[in-house]
Chains A and B, each alone.
Chain A
C-alpha cells in the first residue's frame, strides 16, 4: 500500500516488530505540545470561564441600573430630568488617602466617606420634590448597589482584557481565584434590589431589630446623625440602647452615638449585636458570642468605638448572628428573624454574667435598619 509515495506496509511491519517505539511517539507528541503551548491552552480554558462571568456581571449591572432608573421614574416626583444626572453618579469614584504615612489615616477616610455621603445626599435631595428621609436613604442604597456592580464589572473586565492582550497566563490566575467571590457578592447585590426598593428588612438588620424591640414603649432620642438611643432598666441595672434610626435604610453613626452617651454617663459594659458572615459549613442564623467591636464597614466606626472603649477602659462583648453575604443584604430569612428571641435571651444572660446590680450597660444594635422601626 502506497500513500503519497510512502510505503505503509513497510511501516506496519516495522511497527509490528517494535510497538514500543509507536507508543513512545504517541506519548511524546502531547508532551511537546504541552511544553510549548500548555500555558496558552490553560489561558484559553480559564479565560473562557472568566468571560462567561464577566458577561453575567455586565448583565447584572445593566439590569440593576435599569431597575433603579425605573424605580425613580415611577415612584418619585422630580424637579427636572434626573436620569442624566443619576447616570453620571454611577461612574463616581473615591480616591482613598495616601497610606505611606498611615498616621491619622482613619480621620482622613472618615472625612472622605462622609463627604461623599453628604454630597450624594445633597444632590439626590435637590433632584426630587417632597423626598422623605426614608426614600432618600433607599435611593442612596440603590445607587450604592449599581455603583458597586459597575465597579466589579469594569475592574474584572480590565484584568481579563489585559491578560488576554499580553497573552499573560499568570496575570489571569489571581482573577480566576477571585472570580467566585466576586460573583457571590454580585449575585447578592443584584438580589438585594427588591428588598431595598420595597423597604423590607434585610438579614443585616437583625441587630437593629432586636434593639428596636427593646426600645418599644420607651422614649427615643436622637444621639447622632440617623442614630437614636433610649434609657431603660434591667434587673436593677441601667440599660442604654443604641441603634440606627429606622425604618430608614441606614446604619447610622454608632461611633458618634457612643461618644455622646459616654459624655452623659459612662457604661460599665458595651454589648454589640450584629450580623456576621458565616464560615463555610456553619449554619445560617446560628448565634456566636465573643469579644471586641462587632461592626463591619470600612473600619472607621469600629476604630472610633474601639478607641473610646480603650480610653475609658470599657469591655466590649459581641453577639453575632451568622449568615451568608447573600442572606445579609437580601430580604431577611425566617430563620434569621426567628433567631431574635434567642439572641435576646443570650443578651440578658450576658448582662447578668458580666455586670452587677447598679451598673450600666450599653447595647448597640449594629446594621442596616431598613424596614425596622423602634
Chain B
C-alpha cells in the first residue's frame, strides 16, 4: 500500500482458473507475478493463473 499526499493506493491481484475460467480478485501478496500460477481453484481442480496486478487509488 503506497501513500501519496491524501491518495491511498491498494494493490490487487486478479486471477483466472485455467479450467472453469472463474475470475477472482484478492489483495496482492508478496511474490505474486503476472502469468504465474498462484493457487488452486476453490471451485474445481484447476489452477488459478494471475492475469493482472493493479492498483486502485482512493482519495
Say yes or no for A209: interface residue by CB 8 A criterion.
yes
Q: Is B4 in contact with A200, judged by CB distance below 8 angstroms?
A: no
Shortest distance between the CB of B4 and any CB in chain A (Å): 5
Q: Is A373 in contact with B33, judged by CB distance below 8 angstroms?
A: yes
Q: How far is the CA of A187 from the CA of B56 in the complex (A)?
A: 18
A331-B55, A334-B55 as given contacts; A200 in contact with B35, CB under 8 Å = no
Say yes or no for A257: interface residue by CB 8 A criterion.
no
Say yes or no for B2: interface residue by CB 8 A criterion.
yes
Q: Which of B32-59 contact A (CB under 8 A)?
A: 32-36, 51-57
Q: Which residue of A lies closest to B9 (CB)?
A: A331
A191-B2, A200-B28, A331-B11 as given contacts; A247 in contact with B33, CB under 8 Å = yes
Say yes or no for A194: interface residue by CB 8 A criterion.
yes
Q: Is A332 in contact with B4, judged by CB distance below 8 angstroms?
A: no
Chain A residues whose C-beta falls within 8 Å of the C-beta of B35 in the assembled complex: 212-213, 216, 246, 372-374
Binary contact track A168-211/B, C-beta < 8 Å → 1, others 0:
00000000000000000001001100110011110000000100
Say yes or no for B26: interface residue by CB 8 A criterion.
no
Q: Which residue of B lies closest to A216 (CB)?
A: B35
**Chain A interface category by residue count:** 20 to 34
Q: How far is the CA of A266 from the CA of B54 in the complex (A)?
A: 36
Pick the residue among A198, A201, A213, A330 that contacts B30 (CB under 8 A). Answer: A198
Q: Which residue of B lies closest to A369 (CB)?
A: B34
Beyond A333-B57, A371-B32, 17 additional contacts (C-beta under 8 Å) are: A191-B4, A195-B2, A198-B30, A200-B11, A201-B34, A212-B34, A212-B35, A213-B35, A246-B33, A247-B33, A247-B36, A330-B2, A331-B55, A334-B54, A334-B56, A337-B14, A373-B33
Q: Can you report 9 A-B residue pairs in the complex whose CB atoms are below 8 A from each other?
A: A201-B53, A201-B54, A330-B55, A331-B2, A331-B55, A332-B54, A333-B56, A372-B33, A373-B36
The 8 closest A-B pairs by CB, nearest first: A331-B55, A194-B2, A337-B54, A373-B35, A337-B52, A372-B34, A334-B54, A247-B33
